[in-house]
Amino acid sequence: DSGVTQTPKHLITATGQRVTLRCSPRSGDLSVYWYQQSLDQGLQFLIQYYNGEERAKGNILERFSAQQFPDLHSELNLSSLELGDSALYFCASSVVADTQYFGPGTRLTVL
Amino acid sequence: TQLLEQSPQFLSIQEGENLTVYCNSSSVFSSLQWYRQEPGEGPVLLVTVVTGGEVKKLKRLTFQFGDARKDSSLHITAAQPGDTGLYLCAGRPVDQAGTALIFGKGTTLSVSS
């Protein structure tokens, strides 16, 4: 158990819909990272927040957005969903930037 | 272009065999991390190597960071079915400080009994 929690574990929705994924970091970790993992692309960095502020952006689509709240939990919002958005979405947290602890992930299926 | 190239992509071996997987780059990294991921689960950090030439051992797993800090290897001795999983290396090039951690695409290891 990494100490990072993610909900929900599984999510099935239809194209065009909007979903919210939630992440609670390890106690004391100020940084939260979001990743997308698909079979063909591997683990792709989406976005990082540090203590409520956006710190770095990766290959995140404009249809996707995230935020980190004062209690340090984070949410990833995915809208206008497409079939290709089906993937595993991971959240990770860290104290030291190069040592990240991953949550169990949310498996998103878009039908 | 993949900044961190992992090889082989797939490896299927019998219990008790030894194996080595590689993580290579043309860039210099301040450190490299190795993760293991089981199906449907998140990656789990195994080790971080920081110093060029560094060797770290974790039971039957031996990790090495190249002298020039451009590559790393993971050697498993006497593999067991419990070693099955996706092995990922990750790091940040020294000339990209402040950017996101970069992951290789991984080596999928299958150990059969």
CB contact under 8 A, B41 and A100: no
* Chain A 24-43, residues with CB within 8 Å of chain B CB atoms: 33, 42-43
Query: Do B43 and A88 contact (CB within 8 A), yes or no?
Result: no
Please say if the pLDDT value at position A40 is more than 80. no
d(CA A44, CA B103): 8
Mean pLDDT by 10 residues, chain B (113 residues): 88 97 95 92 93 96 97 98 96 78 93 95
CB contact under 8 A, B42 and A97: no
Residue B66 burial (10 A CB sphere; 0-12, 13-18, 19+): buried
Q: How many CB pairs under 8 A join A and B?
A: 54
Q: How much is the pLDDT for A70? A: 96
CB contact under 8 A, B105 and A33: no
- Out of B31, B42, B45, the one facing A105 most closely (by C-beta) is B42
Cα-flanking dihedrals φ and ψ of residue B95, to 5°? -90, 10
More confident residue, A90 or A97: A90
Query: Using 50, 70 and 90 to split pLDDT, how confident is the model at A36?
Result: very high
Nearest-CA distance B77 → chain A (Å): 25
Cα-flanking dihedrals φ and ψ of residue B33, to 5°? -115, 150
DSSP-based helix, strand, coil % in chain A, nearest 5: 5, 55, 45
- Of A111, A42, A63, A40, the closest CA to residue B101 belongs to A42
Please say if the pLDDT value at position A97 is more than 90. no
Cα-flanking dihedrals φ and ψ of residue A85, to 5°? -80, -10
